[in-house]
Structure 1
Amino acid sequence: MTSNTYIDFSEQHDLSPWEIQNDTVMGGLSHSKLVCNEAGNGVFKGKVSLENNGGFAMVQYYGKPWNVSEYSTVLIRVKGDGKRYQFRIKNQRNDRHSYIQYFETNGKWQTISISLDKLTPWFRGKKLDQSNFKGDCIEGIAFLIGNGKDEDFSLEIDKIMFG
């Protein structure tokens, strides 16, 4: 089975569909942004702060529903800073929960393969007692950092593909 590209920053420089959501929605002081770098990749960067009960930063993308019924994995090509991140998907934009998988970065380009059926449901930092992702489509994807400490971060994103 071949892979099918969902997001390719080298071809899509319009960042307007991407939204930042930080812990400021709950009074926290973390801040982040998404920019395109000179190589044409998206860079999610900022600072996570634990002040005022904060502790996370997230960038999310919502598009028209994407049929993933013929795919079993999502492949993300990223270059991180050695920190742990979450990859998140939503069946529908209005779903309260997301399906997540943690991944570790190593400072080099990596293509990380995540089995769709291994994505587990979470809501507000708590794992839900529901089955793993079984959907046929997604409307949203996100990257989140929230490792329980104050830290600067930078995650360069090249592509998101399904295979």
Structure 2
Amino acid sequence: MSSTTILYQFDKNSPSRDWRVVDDGVMGGRSSGNFYVNESGNGVFEGFVSLENNGGFSSVRYREAFQIQDQSTIRIQLKGDGNKYQFRVKANSYDRHSYIAEFTTSGEWETIEIELTTMYPAFRGRSLSIPNFDKDQIEELAFLIGNKKEQEFHLEIKSIQLI
């Protein structure tokens, strides 16, 4: 029987400063993401993705080291807006690449489950010729939206677990 590790559990006292927004502004783009904890105690990642100045993404990231024991799945409780998002992990926070899984939200509260071994490596939107996630630790969690179109977005997150 595998154990459960809470990677992040939001509540009304969760400090939003734990999470850092990184937009395409790092490359000259004009997208604008925001992150806060709402009155219900959920993390909210929202904003606008702009394609202006070769932009097109917004992300929010959390860094902390977690050891993977006998777990193999990420379980996320969230409520999206019908948009497609990426959930990303880094085994080492200094790696340039991330391991990615895409999911489309339904507009309702739902539980997304992602097998770690299905998360593929990519850097700057390009898949890499290295194995899918096969590490024994995670040092960064992230959500990203970048669907090659201008759009508003709103993603509410309750919890992220490793099961």
TM-score (normalised: structure 1): 0.97
Residues 101-151 of structure 1: per-residue CA shift (max 9 Å, x gap): 000101001110000000000000000011000000011000000000000
* Residue in structure 2 matched with residue 66 of structure 1 by the alignment: 66
Unaligned runs of 5+ in 2: none
Deviation at 1:17, TM superposition (A): 2.1
Residues 28-66 of structure 1: per-residue CA shift (max 9 Å, x gap): 000011011110000000000000000000000001x20
* Residue in structure 2 matched with residue 15 of structure 1 by the alignment: 16
RMSD between aligned alpha carbons?
Answer: 1.0
What is the rounded CA distance, in whole Å, between the counterparts of 1:139 and 1:11 in structure 2? Answer: 24
What is the rounded CA distance, in whole Å, between the counterparts of 1:11 and 1:87 in structure 2? Answer: 23
| 1:15 partner amino acid | S
* Residue in structure 1 matched with residue 31 of structure 2 by the alignment: 30
Structure 1 segments of 4 or more deviating over 3 A? none
Residue 17 of structure 2 corresponds to residue 45 of structure 1: no
Deviation at 1:69, TM superposition (A): 3.0
What is the rounded CA distance, in whole Å, between the counterparts of 1:111 and 1:85 in structure 2? Answer: 14
* Residue in structure 1 matched with residue 6 of structure 2 by the alignment: 5
* Residue in structure 1 matched with residue 114 of structure 2 by the alignment: 114
Count residues in correspondence.
162
| 2:57 partner amino acid | F
Are the counterparts in 2 of residues 69 and 135 from structure 1 also a CA contact under 8 Å? Answer: no
What is the rounded CA distance, in whole Å, between the counterparts of 2:16 and 2:161 in structure 1? Answer: 18
Which stretch of structure 1 is more off in the superposition, 98-107 or 4-13? 4-13
Are the counterparts in 1 of residues 3 and 71 from structure 2 also a CA contact under 8 Å? Answer: no
TM-score (normalised: structure 2): 0.97
Residues 4-30 of structure 1: per-residue CA shift (max 9 Å, x gap): 211000275112221110000000000
| 1:108 partner amino acid | E
What is the rounded CA distance, in whole Å, between the counterparts of 1:83 and 1:44 in structure 2? Answer: 13
* Residue in structure 2 matched with residue 76 of structure 1 by the alignment: 76
Are the counterparts in 2 of residues 85 and 145 from structure 1 also a CA contact under 8 Å? Answer: yes
| 2:103 partner amino acid | F
Are the counterparts in 1 of residues 12 and 39 from structure 2 also a CA contact under 8 Å? Answer: no
What is the rounded CA distance, in whole Å, between the counterparts of 2:99 and 2:69 in structure 1? Answer: 16
Task: Give identity over the alignment, percent.
Answer: 46
Residue 158 of structure 2 corresponds to residue 158 of structure 1: yes
Which stretch of structure 1 is more off in the superposition, 47-56 or 5-14? 5-14
- Within-5 A mapping of 1:143-154: 143-154=143-154
Deviation at 1:2, TM superposition (A): 4.1
**Secondary structure, aligned partner of 2:16:** coil
* Residue in structure 1 matched with residue 93 of structure 2 by the alignment: 93
